[in-house]
Amino acid sequence: MSLSVEAIHKEFTIKQISYDTLSNSVKTEIFKYLQGKNVKVENFIKNVENIVFDILKFPPQPRDIFSGNVDAREIKRISEKYGFSCKTNAKKTSNGSKLLTVKSRRNDLAHGFISFQECGKEYSIQDLILIKKEVIAYISEILNNIQEYLDNRMYLK
């Protein structure tokens, strides 16, 4: 997911998107990014040219975009910030609900709260296959939504 958001940022640079043509939600993200760099309002007004240059280079590191593993709620939060759709075919994806299961189990394993045996004991092979299919379908549809967002330049006003 981090790479997808980075692709959005690269799109702005590659296509030399003018700041004033961006949607308000994207402008807000840029200001939040710059604010994190401790840009004061007074300096902002005085140094507009430098800030415009910074805006064109707006490439937050992946760790700045997400604080850890991603679930459907986090994807929805990012989609609202940038304006791409997080809608998916609920029958195929369960709207990403299984992604939370994978995220939670992965975290429990990584932090040693459960063993591999404990992690999988409540799931049948069929359950695991279904979880895999739904997660892959969900992520694929989200990535398609991001591609559509970029192709149709939906980040513009």
Q: What is the pLDDT of residues 36-87, one digit of tens each?
A: 666 665 665 555 556 566 655 666 555 556 666 789 999 999 899 889 999 9
Is the separation of the CB atoms in 149 and 5 below 8 Å?
no
Residue 9: pLDDT above 60? yes
Cα 33-48-2 angle, rounded to 5 deg: 20
Is the separation of the CB atoms in 75 and 86 below 8 Å?
yes
pLDDT for position 67: 62
Spatial separation of the C-alpha atoms in residues 89 and 95, rounded to whole Å: 7
pLDDT for position 86: 95
pLDDT for position 4: 84
Q: Partners of 20 in the beta sheet?
A: none
Q: State the CB neighbour count (10 A cutoff) for residue 73.
A: 13
pLDDT for position 150: 93
- Which DSSP category does 1 fall into? -
- Lowest mean per-residue pLDDT among 22-26, 91-95, 97-101, 145-149: 22-26
What is the average per-residue pLDDT within 99-121? 89
Spatial separation of the C-alpha atoms in residues 65 and 59, rounded to whole Å: 10
More confident residue, 77 or 27: 77
Q: State the CB neighbour count (10 A cutoff) for residue 53.
A: 10
Q: State the CB neighbour count (10 A cutoff) for residue 46.
A: 11
